[in-house]
Amino acid sequence: MTKRSLLPLLLAAPLLAAAPAHAKPTKALDLPNDLAKVRIDSPAGEVTLTTATDEPYRATIAARERGSKSSESYLAACQALVSAKVQGNALIIEVASPASSDLNDCSYEIVANIPAKADVSIKQHGLQASLNGEFNSVNTDTDAVKLLFEGHATDLAMKSQAVDADISFTQVNHDETIDIDSKALSATLDFGDAKPISYSVDGVASWVDSQLPNTPGAKPSIRLKAMSVRATIR
């Protein structure tokens, strides 16, 4: 098997498994205007975060099953594993390890509109994420991740076995750092033709198409590290 074929296979297993036939909201939380941190620790699922100022700051967590089980009691058992709370200025969402292997098929959908410039940390086995807005930092730690990002973050870091990322900065302040560490990496990074930028690529097999010149020391600063790297920068 080639390194190029590794990425879709690693991504497909956890993320396609997360596609559910049933969903039931578990909890909805109103969020304070001074919320500054979001921490999510859960198994495979979907996360959608926005920073819209014309909508209420609110988070919704839904348990979704990934296998053939579809009973209300099964979904209720999945819901019971969820802890969601606002602690100080932080939204903390955690899913406890199930006591029974029957609940290993539980998956979760998390949707939140949060104040701008928050620090976001997501730890999941398989993650499909959509982030749209202005964030201070975004950090993901996964086995496989598919990320759609549009907006701005001063720091964006991803650590995974497999990364498929479409990252679009709608503004550039020239203080940004992007660090992606994976085994298989496919990424498109769009800075709206902002110059200058700097980038480094550390890969056994790599293909990089950059429409922007590499200016050492400049920011945005991009670091891509993987056994297999395929990246487009513009």
Contact 191, 146 (CB under 8 A): no
Q: What band does 27 get if pLDDT is binned at 50, 70 and 90? A: confident
Is pLDDT of 214 > 60?
yes
How confident is the model over 152-166, as pLDDT tens digits?
999 999 999 999 999
- Confidence (pLDDT) at 73: 81
Is pLDDT of 208 > 60?
yes
Among all chains, which residue has been given the structure tokens 């500054």? Answer: 36
Burial of 72 from C-beta contacts in 10 A (0-12 / 13-18 / 19+): exposed
Q: How far apart are CA 97 and CA 209, in angstroms?
A: 42
Q: What band does 175 get if pLDDT is binned at 50, 70 and 90? A: very high
Domains of the chain: 3-233 (2.160.20)
How confident is the model over 59-109, as pLDDT tens digits?
999 887 666 656 778 888 888 999 999 999 999 999 988 888 878 878 889
Letter string b/e over residues 85-94, b meaning 16 or more CB atoms within 10 A of that residue's CB: eeeeeebbbe
Mean pLDDT for the stretch of residues 176-197: 96
Is pLDDT of 2 > 50?
no
